[in-house]
Copies of this chain bind each other. A is one copy, B any other.
Amino acid sequence: MKSETRREEIIQTAAQLFKEKGFSAVTMRDLATTMGMKAASLYNHISSKQEILKEIIISLAEEFTNGMEQINNSNQSSIQKLKDIIALHINITSKNTYGMASLNNDWMHLEGQLQYYLELRTNYENDFRNILIDGVSKNEIIDSDIETMLFSLLSTLRSLYLWIPKKEDLNFEELSKNLSTILISGINK
């Protein structure tokens, strides 16, 4: 039984390094040194540097896709769906802040899976957009520019990976509630 945990360790360590310096700036020797082994030994567990990136990004992208599907199949108000999306992002991001850096910054270095990744992303954005459009038509959401709202929400959610690690003790419920209030009701009194 080939140990999956060693492989997982390598991928997680790689994700940390990728977050610090970006995919292209991290060498297999960097990764090996951090793992306490020689570069060539990595290849007993993974088949290429590319594969590591693929594992990190695609698994996360699919998690988002699955989460969005669940939310979209539920019968809730548009506002409640948005709150669920906010919770989804906090949830996935807090479990893997390192990987989220690659998802955000290094997706363009995917080779074989670039097109698949872009499909997932486009579909996710379309689902998100449709929730906003639906909310406007049902008078739950203001009739401002949809794209500006979408961009603003997604930007904040996609940047969570930069911020969550700085919070010493993450209270999931509290952050989710605060962020929902701020994104949905704004900050003015």
Contact = CB atoms under 8 A, between A and B. Distances in A.
Interface of A: 20-25, 79, 105-106, 108-109, 132, 139-142, 144-145, 147-149, 151-153, 155-156, 158-159, 162-163, 167, 175, 178-179, 181-189
> Copy number of this protein in the oligomer?
2
A145 B174 CA distance: 10
Contacts of A21: 24, 108-109
A25 B148 contact: no
Contacts of A153: 187
A50 B183 CA distance: 38
A163 B145 CA distance: 14
18 contacts: A22-B23, A22-B106, A24-B25, A105-B105, A132-B187, A139-B189, A140-B188, A140-B189, A141-B188, A147-B167, A148-B178, A149-B182, A151-B156, A152-B183, A182-B186, A183-B186, A184-B187, A186-B187
Given A140-B188, A159-B159, 9 more contacts: A21-B108, A21-B109, A142-B181, A145-B178, A149-B187, A151-B159, A151-B163, A155-B155, A186-B187
